[in-house]
Structure 1
């Protein structure tokens, strides 16, 4: 709206060059000395300082210094905006004037019309019975009302204060009035940053009640500002928020604070965090700065009165269930990488720390996590040398583990140790590829690694490690304060890609084999070494040819192992492509690291715990018209029973886009999953026409026969208006508790966004 109003300032040319030349063309030019007027009539066109005026007739009165243009008046400004009117009457300096039947079309496609407009003092313009919209008029039916428009008795544009005020205004949607405002004021859009109220928003949840948020924006300077938001909840009272933002040439930062004194904590279930707190608040900050083109640093930190405040009240940027606070320094130069970070993980949950299901207190501090990788630009002995360093220090003040149902109780799984664990790892790897005349690719590899590990465990951890059991058999070990371990590897890889071609297709078949010779890993039978970063182990076709298949540095692979497989890829003249891989891994000598005890049983059920691994298979196909399908599976090495599979498909059918995924994982009791897991996930998106679209998604747990999550929504969007509505439903696999939420968002171009959302509407359906 305001952009159109501001463009009526095209009548204000006081800032034009004083020496600008005016070019006038007309069919007739009439001088009336008696009336002291000069009249241009018939096809009048005036060019002045990049602006042009076209009219049927223009009269200049030398006595009153007024210019009057009549009949199909059109002004085209230097920036391309167009102003249409039946009649324009202004002073020759364009400071004051009057316009009849005004219509404005701006370059950024905003539209304004008024019965008349008056300008005074060179700064104040008043539009009478004005209409504003950002929707382009219908070409087939110009008289058809736009999707939305604002009509006002008076629209006052203050060029000095840079504000636009609407008086007696009403908002119309498809020509139907839906809201009336006695007055409201917005910033002149020629000013990108101006203090004032922003669009209010609404929310609802059963425990908070109805909430109405009113933000106020304060633009102190072009580089820093403050947004203050007050939200009143009908059940819990007033929530105050403030966000400070500041920009610099090399970065920016923000600080957010919020607080509330809850009026009705009992609205939440008893025994929860939300129900036990009255005065609640938080402070959080985010920053990102670039020191130079190679180095940057930043932070994302949160401190709050209790562990669930920011999530409960939806504090923007700090409401994730898992909130990661971090400080970091990163450097990147060609193939060299430096990353230093400090972490703390907050689990925002409504469960008190005394509950057995509480997770927040068990989360660690990581002080620090350090990674450095260096690859020389020049070849070393004709091959590539990589140097890697990793440092990790983890502190946790509560033991994270599970107890077996035995008396006395013993630990059978420890996810995270209580106390301090620190590790320094340095690793070097060299490899070089040789290609024979027949296309055989031979790659020798040499690797060396050393670890220094320090531990300072609490008594709970020491007791848990020493009394650890696996399937009822004690496997506990003593705990030492320091460990030093090493590993040296000599490896050889052979690949022989064979090309088969026909007139309509080409195929590449590539047999591949690897062998890695190394000693047994020191202390691999000891449980005293913590496992923080190598707890997730997935053996499939994508990891078959990895030198070390553990997911992190805390576990180390030893012994001699061979990996064997065949890869295939094909492409066809019609645009279809295919790929596949099948293979196995063989433990040849030494102790199998995947069969050794571990605090989280990382090797159990991995398919690598036997000398001959499970068989892994992968296949995929893709078409040029958007269809793709891939399948991955792992089969028992003896019975070929299915242990794990992942199926994925995606397709486009005109305006419809779909994807479907299926996952199956056989039960892993010692790994924490007593039953098989099977799950379907489907997503569909459809575009009905240029403006309308919809989507639906769902996740179905086959084992529990539960639709654990489903979402639906639709949206409308064009050049001036966006509307979306969503509905979500989730159901707990075990308790069957159900929660539902919905939300909508309306966006009016040049006006702003507003909407509402709700949290849980009901439970226990």
Structure 2
């Protein structure tokens, strides 16, 4: 039974009437209510007509009905017809935040059917409906006559102006059960100007985030593929699973078909993606890989699962008919230049870390099969890391323990001077490493840290490469198993000194280290797969072992000296810097020993007295930052490597610039120096407009390697972006890419599909 409790200034009364069972739903400003929901009514005057069986509330009417609130000038309830009529300045606020206003509401008492004049609706996500009149039927379908739909708020300064975009339709049918909005005889208007007429189209209602149906199309263009249009179809298989089918027609290459299945479970999700094409004109491609294949395709899958709060299992795997298909046709999620196929298990708990990976690498390149880098990539079966720090102190110090293992299998050997080096066959390594350190602070703030470390390696090798390694002249150990060990005793001394003034504070910290250890066992004679990339700078100046991986180990007695500075001026300015040098004192210098890649050559550490390394930086609030880093010859102080960067951020402007210099490294195949400067900026003008640009200039080859500009508008309901990107390769061949993207909130977006569009 529905109870009406009323209080009035001039009188009060009550009436009861039955209410039918009703589900909670919201359609066009009318909300169904639960059975036995009370209706609370307040008005200036309450009039009960027993003959006509009506109750009229007049003046300042306020109603609370099952969580829905209504205000009106007058409300009449007819017990015989079971209808509620609200008249004059009617406004309804639903529990979900939907707000509806009208001149008149005439509805049944269960809100299942009704008629509304001059209706306006604003949903919680700020979408808006307006109509001359609206009719609700069966509690699920509302029809707007001569309606307007938009997701744009009216202009605060000029509310009389039309919104940026709106759809006017003779009829708008909002189906609350199917969650669809159907537009009949519709016209799409932009800034009040009609741009397109649509006899009929249907979209999901504003409350729906996932619904089966066509998505907005996208477009692409290139000289090789021609103009392409993609039409995706989305299938909501279940609340936690969906399938997207995409067909792309290209004027030069034909039809590209794609399918992506996604499934979310309680502890993670996985996806499966396939794509394929029969190229109509392979000869349109200038690159051998793309032009030598007609039928091309791929299958890829990704997954990630939280086994429990400590363990994560996942994978990322791609298989394709040739090594460049996914990159050429921009298959979403698989366009990286180097695709790492990876199956992994990681664990993290307190001070313990476990990481296990099985990997292979696909280099998506345009060279024909059998050439380039792809055929030289290894299988990594597996790579393993385990790190732990003891919870209990040992002799007052901290004890850590690390295990690392890796297995490499490769079909072909690579000894080219300019590519990543690698052995054919198989090679493995298992490393166990432990370190103990304890810091003692002496009077005056002098911090002394003794360090003890021990490490052992077990290695195996099975390769057809014998004798000296031709690319570097290094000799390798023979096939079979081997071992090596390293023990280190060292001490680090730091003395931070604080200087303060009324407005600033400064800490200058001299640092000295010395590590005593034997020579590296069979230096450079073992396979080096994970310590090939090496850059000596301030980040590793004070590392016990400066090599970037475990395949090489630093030996001999070495001292590291430097000074570190941090400072603050007021509350806004931060300063920092470091400068230092390293000295090989005794034994074999591991960085001077050749290996299969000559990892230490031209590094600045191959001589007994290293190059100088330094860095300095400053920042002002969150607005401005700058940093410079460099390595300088130990005798002439000539620049061997340098980097500089500058960044500025404000509401109107975000800008950055960078410079990089690397001296000639003949050992690595770079006979001349390399210099490059780059910059990017985004300027926001007006409130929603911004213009962007970036450029990279190759100083060495005197060419503009990359240029891009973009223009974008973005507000709460509409966005548009235009961009142009030009790149040049080493032979100065230019590639131009143009793109655009238009987004209409709640309706979707469409335009060209370009991987770099986010940069503009």
Band the TM-score falls in, shorter-chain normalisation: over 0.9
Aligned counterparts of 2:586 and 2:731: Cα–Cα separation in 1: 48
Aligned counterparts of 1:157 and 1:525: Cα–Cα separation in 2: 74
The farther-off stretch of 359-368 and 721-730 is 721-730
CA-CA distance at 1:542 after TM superposition: 2.0
**1:543: which partner in 2?**
540
- Within the alignment, does 1:202 sit opposite 2:219 as a pair? yes
- Within the alignment, does 1:454 sit opposite 2:460 as a pair? yes
The farther-off stretch of 381-390 and 178-187 is 178-187
| 1:109-120 mapped onto 2 (5 Å cutoff) | 109-120=126-137
Aligned counterparts of 2:241 and 2:621: Cα–Cα separation in 1: 49
- Conserved? CA contact 2:218–2:753, under 8 Å: no
- Conserved? CA contact 2:28–2:121, under 8 Å: no
Q: Cα deviations across residues 562-604 of structure 1 (Å, max 9, x unaligned)?
A: 1111222222236333222222111111111111112222111
**1:11: which partner in 2?**
30
- Conserved? CA contact 2:475–2:595, under 8 Å: no
Aligned counterparts of 1:135 and 1:742: Cα–Cα separation in 2: 28
- Within the alignment, does 1:88 sit opposite 2:105 as a pair? yes
Question: SS state of the match for residue 415, structure 1?
Answer: coil
**1:316: which partner in 2?**
332
Aligned counterparts of 2:595 and 2:453: Cα–Cα separation in 1: 25
| 1:338-487 mapped onto 2 (5 Å cutoff) | 338-355=354-371, 358-402=372-416, 415-457=421-463, 459=464, 461-462=465-466, 466=468, 468=470, 470=472, 475-477=474-476, 479-487=478-486
- Conserved? CA contact 2:695–2:708, under 8 Å: yes
Q: How many pairs were matched up?
A: 732
Residue in structure 2 matching 1:561, options 558, 561, 578: 558
The farther-off stretch of 110-119 and 55-64 is 55-64
- Conserved? CA contact 1:389–1:425, under 8 Å: yes
Question: SS state of the match for residue 551, structure 1?
Answer: coil
- Within the alignment, does 1:107 sit opposite 2:109 as a pair? no
CA-CA distance at 1:67 after TM superposition: 3.2
**2:307: which partner in 1?**
291
- Conserved? CA contact 1:297–1:330, under 8 Å: yes
- Conserved? CA contact 2:29–2:99, under 8 Å: no
Aligned counterparts of 1:711 and 1:77: Cα–Cα separation in 2: 48
Question: SS state of the match for residue 100, structure 2?
Answer: strand
- Conserved? CA contact 2:562–2:579, under 8 Å: yes
**2:5: which partner in 1?**
none
CA-CA distance at 1:620 after TM superposition: 2.0
Q: Cα deviations across residues 13-41 of structure 1 (Å, max 9, x unaligned)?
A: 2x3332423424244626273x6654444
CA-CA distance at 1:112 after TM superposition: 0.6
Question: SS state of the match for residue 273, structure 1?
Answer: helix
**1:497: which partner in 2?**
496
Quickly say closer, same or farther: Cα 1:707–1:43, change in 2 above 3 A: same
CA-CA distance at 1:331 after TM superposition: 0.5
CA-CA distance at 1:7 after TM superposition: 4.6
Aligned counterparts of 1:94 and 1:571: Cα–Cα separation in 2: 66
TM-score, L = length of structure 2 = 0.92
Question: SS state of the match for residue 415, structure 2?
Answer: strand
**2:291: which partner in 1?**
275
Quickly say closer, same or farther: Cα 1:80–1:189, change in 2 above 3 A: closer
Aligned counterparts of 1:749 and 1:468: Cα–Cα separation in 2: 61
Aligned counterparts of 1:134 and 1:168: Cα–Cα separation in 2: 19
Question: SS state of the match for residue 375, structure 2?
Answer: helix
Runs of 5+ unmatched residues, structure 1: 1-5, 404-411, 761-765
| 1:340-739 mapped onto 2 (5 Å cutoff) | 340-355=356-371, 358-402=372-416, 415-457=421-463, 459=464, 461-462=465-466, 466=468, 468=470, 470=472, 475-477=474-476, 479-526=478-525, 529-573=526-570, 575-624=572-621, 626-652=623-649, 655-732=652-729, 734-739=730-735
Aligned counterparts of 2:37 and 2:622: Cα–Cα separation in 1: 62
**2:3: which partner in 1?**
none
**1:225: which partner in 2?**
242
Aligned counterparts of 2:147 and 2:650: Cα–Cα separation in 1: 47
Aligned counterparts of 2:622 and 2:283: Cα–Cα separation in 1: 57
CA-CA distance at 1:354 after TM superposition: 3.6
Quickly say closer, same or farther: Cα 1:499–1:80, change in 2 above 3 A: closer
Question: SS state of the match for residue 466, structure 1?
Answer: coil
CA-CA distance at 1:673 after TM superposition: 0.9
Residue in structure 2 matching 1:337, options 341, 353, 356: 353
Question: SS state of the match for residue 754, structure 1?
Answer: strand
CA-CA distance at 1:136 after TM superposition: 0.9
CA-CA distance at 1:197 after TM superposition: 1.7
- Conserved? CA contact 1:715–1:724, under 8 Å: yes
Aligned counterparts of 2:691 and 2:681: Cα–Cα separation in 1: 8
CA-CA distance at 1:62 after TM superposition: 4.6
- Conserved? CA contact 1:417–1:530, under 8 Å: yes
Residue in structure 1 matching 2:152, options 135, 141, 166: 135
Question: SS state of the match for residue 146, structure 2?
Answer: strand
Runs of 5+ unmatched residues, structure 2: 1-24
Aligned counterparts of 2:335 and 2:651: Cα–Cα separation in 1: 38
- Within the alignment, does 1:58 sit opposite 2:75 as a pair? yes
**1:328: which partner in 2?**
344
Aligned counterparts of 2:140 and 2:570: Cα–Cα separation in 1: 69
The farther-off stretch of 83-92 and 602-611 is 83-92
CA-CA distance at 1:243 after TM superposition: 1.2
Q: Cα deviations across residues 588-635 of structure 1 (Å, max 9, x unaligned)?
A: 111111111122221111111111111222222223362222222222
Aligned counterparts of 2:655 and 2:125: Cα–Cα separation in 1: 36
Aligned counterparts of 1:180 and 1:310: Cα–Cα separation in 2: 38
- Conserved? CA contact 1:741–1:759, under 8 Å: no
Quickly say closer, same or farther: Cα 1:69–1:593, change in 2 above 3 A: same
Question: SS state of the match for residue 341, structure 2?
Answer: strand
Q: Cα deviations across residues 250-283 of structure 1 (Å, max 9, x unaligned)?
A: 11111111122222222212x6122122222111
- Conserved? CA contact 2:310–2:349, under 8 Å: yes
